[in-house]
Amino acid sequence: MGNLNTTPELSAPEQQLLKDFLEEHRLFYAPDQEILRSHALEPRSAREEAAIERVNDLHRLNQVRGRIISAMEESFRMVEQMGSAPGAKWGDLVTAVFTASGDMSESSAGIVAFATVSPYPIKFIKKYWATEPTVGLRQGDGFIHNDSRYGNIHNTDQSMIMPFYHDGELVCWVSSTVHEGENGACEPGGMPASAISPWDEGLRMPPFRIVEDYKVRRDLLTFLQNSVRDPKLQYEDVYVKLFACLRITERLRAIIAEFGVDALIAFLRVNLEDTEAEVKRRIREMPDGIVRYTSWADSTLREPVLLKTNCELHIRGDRATWMLKGSAPQLNNRAINCLGSSLKAFILTGLVQQMWPDLPRNQAVFSAFGFEADERSLCNCDNDAPMPMSIQVAFRYLIKPGQIMNKMMYGVPLEARARQTVVVAAQYNQPATFIYGGVTQHLEITGNFCADINGAGQGARSNRDGEHALSGCFVFMSDTGEQELMEEELPMVRLVAQVLAKDRVGWGKYRGGLGYEQMVSSRGTPMWGFMTGQTGSEFCSAPGLFGGYSSPAYPLCRVKGINVFEWLKKPGNAERFPYSIVALMNDRPIEGGVYLTSPGTTFEPTTEGEIYMMCQGSGGGYGDVLERDPELVMQDLNQDLLSDETAERIFKVVYERGTRRVDRAATALARDAERAARKARGKPFKDFVAAWVKPEPPPELPYFGSWGDDAVIYAGSGSSRIVMRGDDIQPVWLPDPREVRIAELEARIAALTGSAERA
Amino acid sequence: MKRVSVDIGGTFTDCFVVWDDRYIETKALTTRHNLALGFNEALDEACSTLGFTRSELLAEVDSVRYATTLGTNALLERKGPRIGLLTTVGFRSTVNIGRGRAYGEGLSFAKQRDMPNADRPEALVRPEMVREIRERIDYAGTVLMPLDERDLRVRLRELVDAGAEALVVCLANAVVNPEHELLIQKIYVEDYPEHMLGSVPMLLSHQVAGRKGEYIRTMSTVLDAFLHKAMYFGLSALELNLCASGYTKPMLVVHNSGGMAQLNSTDALQTVHSGPVSGIAAAEHLARQANLGNVVATDMGGTSYDIGLVVDGGVKFYDFMPVIERWLVTVPMVHLVTLGSGGGSIATYDGMYKTVKCGPESAGSDPGPACYDRGGLKATVTDADLLLGYLDPHNYANGHIKLNPRRSRQTVEDQLCDPLDIDAVEACKLIKRTVDADMANGVATELRAFGYDPSEFTLLSYGGNGSLHACGIAHNLGIDRILAPPFAAVFSACGAGTLDQMHIHEMSTFLVLFQPKTKTLFTDYEVFNDMVAALERRGHEDLLRQGFAERDIRYRLELDMRYGNQRVTTSVVTDLRRLRSLHDVARIIDQFHRSYGDRFGEGSQSPAAGVRINTIRVCSYVEVEAVRFADIGPGLRSAPSPAPIGLRRCHFVGLDAPIETPIYDERALVHGVALEGPAVVTTPHTTYLVEPGWRFEAAAQRAVWLVRPQAGRGNPHGQPEHNA
């Protein structure tokens, strides 16, 4: 039987009949790909046209802008203060206002990516619920939403969306979004690394009306509370987001009273058009051409692999396109797939974080760009793929605009508008933090993540070192929190709170900022567990710029089978405990402990006093290490940021170790010698290519993505490797690592048994 | 009453002397090298008005009170001792990391967003001067690892050898169990007795701040240590100067908590921002006496615009984690917000929106606005005010600064007129319109964040540029009443004369008043009461030490409460001093419920998620007689309007044509004089701009009302309400 949707021989009236039939007998209001694929601004509506014609005083619109920004700040502060989710307390939230068509015109401080994906559910509501007789759209409605497939970053974030009416007319929309954490997924905390299907992701809310006539429906809220581990959190934050939206609508009413409804409608539209025009102006200032920055994730969060995340920026005139073709294929039973609609929001975030922090934080920052990615790829997956850990892929794209555009900017005049800030190498871009779950010392069930995600090392700048452990690369002014407050609420003790990770940084003429070590144990809980969500344990995540070193790789380390608190009580042990990941893992002072190193872990129960350790990474370096001022090297030594070995071996500084007095002449000689050695090691590019380039990935390498030709995609290793066309990627299923391990062990047993039998 | 109150600012030392029913206000330039000189000059001027010598006056006054920016200046100049920090093992990078956001604290939103250019402020504790001590206490105060005394002695020696001039101790969870911090102090005193290191003070974090949060508590203690020396010597010199002039009582120092204490009971950190806080205290006192209702106190100077809230009913607004200069700390400080705009704010062309942007960059006082003719090449708000006709180029700042309008015109034309395609006057109107709206948005955001409607406030306006922009700001806020207060030129000094002696002590806690899981209310009254009693005891001792009688000591109990696991805590002031029954518990929960609803909206409360007390705070104080203002109500008296001293062509926002505007001098401040706008009143310390639609009324004690009849609200600038 043929597919009704694609029957070619139907006449136009018959096609209309079929369309009407399908609309009348709709089984499921699935995510609308037409909505999700477009990041362009909606065309000016007739209403907007009329409003702009009536209010054409740009200075007056500027006053409306001031009022809107004030409302955004006020509502942001409300959510930050009232919010119960840890994410809300550290700035992992946003509030925003949208045109009547659903385009995001202005957002508050916080996570701009959240606001950038919110137009999708709004457009869904407009297209389907507004006309659906059983739903409809009215003043006082509030829609809750979290499913990425209808437009979101990942399902741990929840939004409240409200239409705003004036005299019966839909004028605009407002929203409030918080990273809530716990959402009833197969692992606590809302971001299950072990999810192997969409059905493991916990709550999957398409936008639905939970607020009627400004009141929360308790039956629906109860359903949500009943679906998660932390019903208190779900209860509190629904109200918090609702009241933040209501506060924005109060301000919008005041704006209308002061400036008129046309001024508000005109501003929301003009704000977007002005932004888009400005972005195009800046693109025009950059040279035509293509710059590529490719990186690889080294794990699926369940097994070690190499996953290519490709990115090119193509510029011609004022047209610029982000080209992601050649990236790894989607993995249908792994948690790290990302939708194209979500990924675009991260590129936008990278643009306003690293290149153009002066721009308004709205959708038009990205609408000026084109976007192309292979279908069913890791960065443009379909709805069948699980995606609760989409940030694993998406975070890689946070730094790509900076890495690419700072190279494009090389020849751009200093006074160009495109140059709004200093040139900076990549900030560390992995969500290196512990996700936890269990029962607290106050007997509350919880699951969420730690604020350590908010302190990644900054990349080095063209004129100075990067800052250590700076607000995350996805937001400004986020907060790494206070350990005393964390310990008060959660059954965890920080053996190392946040200590800068010596020697683990991207070196260069200017070095990146350092990240920090975290060492934590659970205590005083009947049940607790940890998981992680970062990669980069073997393949560096944050590259250097113009000769600077990349950040190092950072594995997860654990000491299992011990109780460090009991061990510390024994005489002499406190002095032996090193409070350093490197020393603890190398010296292994706790007898009987099982010392483990791995890329990360899915949710793993822990007992009191077992030690979990990870490192928040550093930024990339800038320029050649041999050009670093030796006195800056000594300063880093004095501050215990690097070792003598690094100073001598990497920076080639000659000095007296006791006094740290630099021998400048000897340093110059050592550096000249190293330059000569580099030349000796060097070879012509043609020779390098001949020796280095292989026709395809080594067979033993579990490799996913293109290899040279972006139109050809590889997936897997050895005999199970698949080779596909980029325009026809088939989803990839990976074997369960536990099954693989069991098979290996059984084979080993069989081999040993066979050996024994032979013996 | 006979009293001297002083506010030593960065530029001027303001002095306010109350001598029975006489009130004298004087000013002198601040003498940074020796603050006593500026103080003496200001005081001598007051003495000459009264006909006394300095020592005659000082022998008679009940108190001398100081608010000072000494601490702020020391922080700005980064002048302080080399600090050594002792902290719990595993916490050595806490200060260096600064919660990941220390780069942006105290900066404008635009600078916070510019992360590639992020720079943390210069470290007050260099990383080389941090040492970890092997010890650990958990959140509940249980010792997980005893303090290793041998390890401590080694680390102490290292810091001393490295040249530490002050030592700070901040250990994890010390506010719950200070045992280890106190042990460190004991060992330090034993090993380094006064004759060895008497000048190296050691500060313990739990004694400086009672709240949890290792970073904020460390920074509070570090700032205290950093300022200690400068404040000690600076204020001691002032006290000695007073002694030499015949003053025999203890000098009183204004605290940023809105109280004051003797010098020997003052932490250095408590003095930072005490000047602006005194202004807010004066506003509170004035509002109470004059029944002003809700007041927003605004102080617009050359480079900044400070605002504070005073609301009817005595609700206190504190910042418990204020940013001082560039650092987040924890000290209960009167809520004070500084918006980055003033007369020096630079106006630039906004190429994206094709309009004008004001600030956050400022020309400051050096080089200052272009019209100062000191090399400033950027158009500022003051340049716009000059070209609009509001300022007298020959009589600005009491004639101290001659303004050059040609320079203003040149910069405005060069930088704004060409891209905007408008003439200089229109550009200046745009600057004024923009800066007024920006200020109003800043004020509105603050008021609304606390749940208030700006239109229900009186705008109290002081500071050099306040009265020039007050009408424009008030219009944007929907406010119809502006009061330039009595003694506006020395308002902060005047505020110091209104303060009580007060000490605030607080303690972090984890008291669950309603536990949703077990559905139980709090009954462990003894725990709560013991904590309150301990805090009262500390305040009691502070005040007894300063010579107050026990019967005069009062207490105010404040509880910082929250629902579930929220971040925000709402302060509840309760007249209960002890809990004795479930009714008391329910009463507190109910009070919290109402306060929260007022702030965030009725219905936003979530008691079902649990109700907690996070901090208990006790304000211990002694009420003393305060300065009394005269009845400053409008319309109490009528006086003939003085003749204008001239006419000037002024341009107003919303009006196409200029208006020949009457100019008045300070004779217009005679009680009862009323003027209809437009008018300009120029006095030695400020200029009042009475915009069209507004009315000027001089009240008692040279206070000035700017009021707008309701009918004028829709069209205060003559501009159409809507363009539609």
> Which tokens hold the place of A489?
């609420």
Q: Are A462 and A422 in contact (CB under 8 A)?
A: yes
- Mean local confidence (pLDDT), B150-173: 96
Would you say A523 and A565 are in contact if contact means Cβ atoms under 8 Å apart?
Answer: yes
* Alpha helices, H only, A482-535: 483-489
Per-residue model confidence (pLDDT) at position A399: 96
B100/A454 CB distance under 8 A = yes
Counting one residue from A and one from B, how many pairs have CB atoms under 8 Å apart?
Answer: 248
Task: For residue B443, give the chain A residue with the closest CA.
Answer: A70
Q: Which of A251, A458, A477 shows the shortest C-beta gap to B104?
A: A477
At A756 the pLDDT is 64
In chain B, whose CA is at the least distance from the CA of A482?
B213
Give the total residue count for chain B: 724
Kindly state whether B361 is in contact with chain A, defined as any CB-CB distance less than 8 angstroms: no
Residues 6+ apart with CB under 8 A from A494: A483, A486, A487, A518, A519, A520, B90
Q: Is B576 on the interface with A (CB under 8 A)?
A: no
Choose the weakest-confidence range: A390-399, B85-94, B374-383: B374-383
Q: Is a pLDDT exceeding 90 seen at residue A24?
A: no
Closest CA in chain B for residue A361: B113
pLDDT at residue B355 above 90? yes
B215: nearest CA partner in chain A: A482
Q: Which residues contact A595 (CB under 8 A, 6 or more apart)?
A: A557, A558, A559, A585, A588
> Are B172 and A484 an interchain contact pair (Cβ–Cβ within 8 Å)?
yes
CA distance A307 to A327: 8
DSSP states of B283-301 as a string?
A: HHHHHHHHT--EEEEEEE-
Rg (CA), chain A: 27
User: Which residues in chain B are contacts of A495 at CB distance < 8 A?
Assistant: 90
Q: What is the mean pLDDT of residues B163-172?
A: 97
B604 reaches A (C-beta below 8 A): yes
Question: In degrees rounded to 5, what are phi and psi of residue A359?
Answer: -70, 155
Mean pLDDT of A577-592: 96
As to burial, measured by CB atoms within 10 angstroms (0-12 exposed, 13-18 middle, 19+ buried), residue B201 is: middle
The pLDDT value recorded for residue B262 is: 87
CB contacts of B434 in chain A (<8 Å) are 59, 62-63
Mutate one of A467, A577, A622, A639 to test the B interface: name it (highest B CB count within 10 A). Answer: A467
CB A133 within 8 A of CB A60: no
Mutation choice for B interface testing from A56, A57, A59 by most B CBs within 10 A: A59
Nearest by CB to A259, from B99, B350, B722: name it.
Answer: B722
Distances (CA, A) of B494 to A255, A565, B275, B542, B574: 38, 58, 10, 25, 30
Mutate to test the interface with A, among B91, B93, B173 (most CBs of A within 10 A): B93
Could you give the C-alpha distances from A363 to A97, A191, A508, B351, B352, in angstroms and in order? 11, 26, 36, 19, 16
Region A237-265: mean pLDDT is: 96
Cβ-Cβ contacts under 8 Å, B722 against chain A: 259-260, 262-263
> Can you give the pLDDT at residue B253?
92
Q: Read off the pLDDT band of B198 (50, 70, 90).
A: low
Most confident segment among A438-452, A646-660, B361-375: A646-660
Please tell me the distance in Å from B139's CA to the nearest CA on chain A. Answer: 5
What tens digit of pLDDT does each residue of B512-548 get? 999 988 889 999 999 999 999 999 999 999 999 888 8
B463 touches chain A (CB under 8 A): no
Q: Which of A430, A451, A380, A434 is nearest to A187 (CA)?
A: A434
What's the pLDDT score for residue A8?
65
Write the pLDDT tens digit of every residue in B213-228: 999 999 999 999 999 8
- A282 CA to chain B: closest CA distance, Å? 11
Q: What is the 3-state secondary structure (H, E, C) of A591-616?
A: CCCEEEEECCCCCEEECCCCEEEEEC
Closest-CA residue of chain B to A480: B99
Q: A77–B449: do the CB atoms touch at under 8 Å?
A: yes
Predicted confidence (pLDDT) per residue in B317-348, tens digit = 888 889 998 999 998 899 888 886 677 889 99
Residue of A nearest to B146 (CA): A569
Sheet holding B695-698, edge to edge: B337-339, B305-310, B294-300, B457-462, B481-484, B704-707, B695-698, B674-676
CB-CB neighbors (< 8 A) of A55 in chain B: 723-724
Q: Tell whether the model's pLDDT for residue A348 goes beyond 50.
A: yes
Average pLDDT over residues B353-363: 87
What confidence tens digit (pLDDT) does each residue in A147-193 have?
999 999 999 999 999 999 999 999 999 999 999 999 999 999 999 99
Tens of pLDDT along B19-30?
998 999 998 888
Rg over CA atoms, chain B: 27
* Residue A300 token pair: 């699926």
Interface contact A498-B89, CB threshold 8 A? no
Q: Give the Cα-Cα-Cα angle B107, B113, B116 (nearest 5 degrees).
A: 105
Tell me, yes or no, if B301 comes closer than 8 A to chain A by beta carbon: no
CB-closest option in A62, A236, A480 to B609: A236
φ, ψ of residue B562 to 5 degrees: the values are: -155, 160
More confident residue, A491 or B608: A491
Helix (H) or strand (E) holding A557: strand A556-560
Residue A516 with chain B: CB contacts under 8 Å: 93, 97
Contact A558, A611 (CB under 8 A): yes
- Outline where A578-684 has alpha helix (H): 581-587, 630-638, 644-649, 664-681
Residue-averaged pLDDT of chain A: 94
Q: Mark A694-715 as b/e (b = at least 16 C-beta within 10 Å).
A: eeebeeebbbbbbbeebeebbb
CB contact B151 to A (< 8 Å): yes
Contact B566 A358 (CB under 8 A): no
Nearest to A366 by CA among A349, A379, A391: A349
Average pLDDT in the A214-239 region? 95
C-alpha distances in Å from residue A558, one per residue of A364, A568, A599, A733: 45, 17, 11, 29
- A485: nearest CB among B114, B128, B213: B213
Residues A31-42 have pLDDT tens digits of 999 999 999 999
Looking at per-residue confidence, does B497 or B155 come out higher?
Answer: B155
Look at B604 and A240 and tell me if their CB atoms are within 8 Å: yes
Nearest residue to A279 (alpha-carbon basis) of A397, A367, A402: A367
- Beta-strand (E) ranges in B516-610? 520-521, 553-563, 570-574
Taking CB atoms and an 8 Å limit, are B138 and A63 in contact across chains?
no
Q: Which of residues 528-587 of A touch B (CB under 8 A)?
A: 565, 568, 574-575, 579
* Averaged pLDDT score across all residues of chain B: 90
CA distance A78 to B451: 10
Nearest to A498 among B94, B563, B604 (CB): B94
Chain B: give the shortest CA distance to residue A70, in Å: 6
> Which chain A positions have a beta carbon within 8 Å of B93's beta carbon?
468-469, 497-500, 516
In B391-466, at which residue ranges do the beta strands (DSSP E only) sit? 457-462
- List of chain A residues whose C-beta atoms are within 8 Å of the C-beta of residue B610: 232
Instruction: Give pLDDT tens digits for A80-95.
Output: 888 888 888 888 899 9
Label residue B302 by pLDDT band (50, 70, 90).
low
Q: Do B115 and A499 touch (CB under 8 A)?
A: no
Range 499-518 of B in CB contact (< 8 A) with A:
510, 512, 516-517
What is the pTM for the complete model shown?
Answer: 0.92
Look at residue B314 and tell me whether its pLDDT is greater than 80. no
pLDDT at B716 over 50: no
Residues facing A169 on adjacent strands: A166
- Mean predicted confidence (pLDDT) in A633-647: 96
- Provide mean pLDDT across the span A701-727: 96
Q: Cβ separation of B145 and A568 shorter than 8 Å?
A: yes
pLDDT of residue B132: 97
- Note whether A222 contacts B: Cβ–Cβ < 8 A: no
The answer, for B422 touching chain A at a CB cutoff of 8 Å, is no
Share of chain A above pLDDT 90, in %: 91
Which of the listed ranges A344-353, B236-245, B572-581, B622-631 does the model predict with the highest average pLDDT? Answer: A344-353
Segment A378-386 shows an average pLDDT of 96
Q: Which residue of B has its CA nearest to A75?
A: B449
From the list B96, B144, B441, the residue facing A493 with the nearest CB is: B144
Asked if pLDDT for residue A439 goes beyond 50, the answer is yes
Q: How far is A416 from chain B (nearest CA, A)?
A: 12
| % of residues, chain B, pLDDT over 70 | 96
